[in-house]
Every structure is written in C-alpha cells, then in structure tokens.
Amino acid sequence: MTQSTNLARWVLIASILAGVSYVAAWGLGLPQAAELTWKGLGVSLLAVYAALKARDLDGWLVVAVMAFGALGDVLLGAAGLTVGAIAFLAGHLIAIGLYLRNRRPSLSRSQLALAIVLVPATVTIAWLLPADRAGAPGVAFYALGLSLMAATAWTSRFHRFRVGIGAVMFVVSDLLIFARSGPLPDNFLTGLGVWGLYYFGQLLICVGVVEGLAKSPALPGEGRGPDPA
C-alpha cells in the first residue's frame, strides 16, 4: 500500500467519523461557526479523499462535486436556503457533466424508464411540498438540476448500487428538506433522515466514482466500459 493510498484511506475514515458524529452537535449548543465547521467537515474530507485519488479530469470533477457539496452544507446555515441551494446546484451541474462523460453504453428498459420518470416525478413532488407557495417555483427549478444529476448518475457506467443509489438518496434527502417546510414536522427524526440520506448518499457517490475510475480509467480515443450492476 503506497503512502498516498494509506493517507486516502485514513481521510475517508475521518470523513465517516465526522459525518456520523455531526448528529451529536445538534444538542450541544455550539457557536454557529463551530457547528457549521463540523457539518461541512464530512463532505470536505470526501473532497480531500477524491483529490488524493484523482488522476485525470474526471477525478478532479469528483473533487469539485464534493467541494461544492461541502460549501452548500455551510452556506445553508450561514447564508440561508437560497444561497446554499446555488452551491449545491453548481455541484449538480458538474456532476451531470461527469456522468455524461461516463455514459453507460447500453441500458435496459427498466433502467431507462427509471431515469426518465425520476426527473418529472422529483420536480412535481418538490413543487407540491413547500407550504410557502411563492417559493415553490424556485424549489422546482432546483429540483430539476437535482433530478437530472440523479438520472445521469443512474445511467452512467458507475456502479448503480453505489453511485446510482447514492444520488437517489441525495434526492430523497432534499425532498425531506422541502417537506419540512410543508407537511412534515421539523424534528429530530426528520433531521436525522435529511442528514443520514445526504451524507451517506455523498459517501456512496464519491467512493463509487473514485473506485470506478480506478478500475476503468480513460484512455485517449477509447470508451469506458461499465462497472458491474
């Protein structure tokens, strides 16, 4: 095991510890700066992990996706939902580019159907959820980028039970956020669902893409074969 590989493994472990332990911060009454730092640490370390593994453009695109996710985590608390959503949306757009660069050569009908249904279903649900109807169009616009990210992840060559499922978990997490301003109560269980689905979704995406790139790197003028599942 090389020194870089060993360091990347420890950074990934630190990310998981930070992501899981962040829930403990909710009841500690920490200053906002400290709590937001703790919140952003989990996905920030995923960006560091991806950077240690990056070998080409696709690898650095993963770094950017995780970095914008971490920025969004912090900005949601520091600057509000709209500013945080802009950072997340930037990450989604980069992720869409990454997944389109790594399209799966062929799809089954069920795989294609899920990808097609996912976008209008997510946008419609997101538009219906907020109690403040004035904000519903903005929520739906963000959900469009979110759902396209998940659909392209599902149809990419990367492992669907890591990257595809991770992207869908991200979608469900954000829908819970929108529901929290509508029909769902804003309590510990809802917050646990939001954070758990989000962090572990990001973890699956990051590790799945990094491992997929390592197993089947790009060669000039050649396509990439799909990972299993």
- Comparing 31-40, 69-78, 106-115, 219-228, the range with the smallest average pLDDT is 219-228
Sign of the alpha-carbon dihedral angle for 132, 90, 197, 160: positive
**Global confidence as pTM:** 0.91
Backbone angles phi, psi at 55, to 5 degrees: -130, -10
The string over 123-148, giving b where at least 16 C-beta atoms fall within 10 Å of a residue's C-beta and e elsewhere, is bebbbebbeeeeebeebbebbbbbbb
156 SS3 class: strand
Rounded Cα distance, 112 and 127, in Å: 24
Statement: residue 218 has pLDDT above 70: no
What pLDDT score was predicted for residue 224? 56
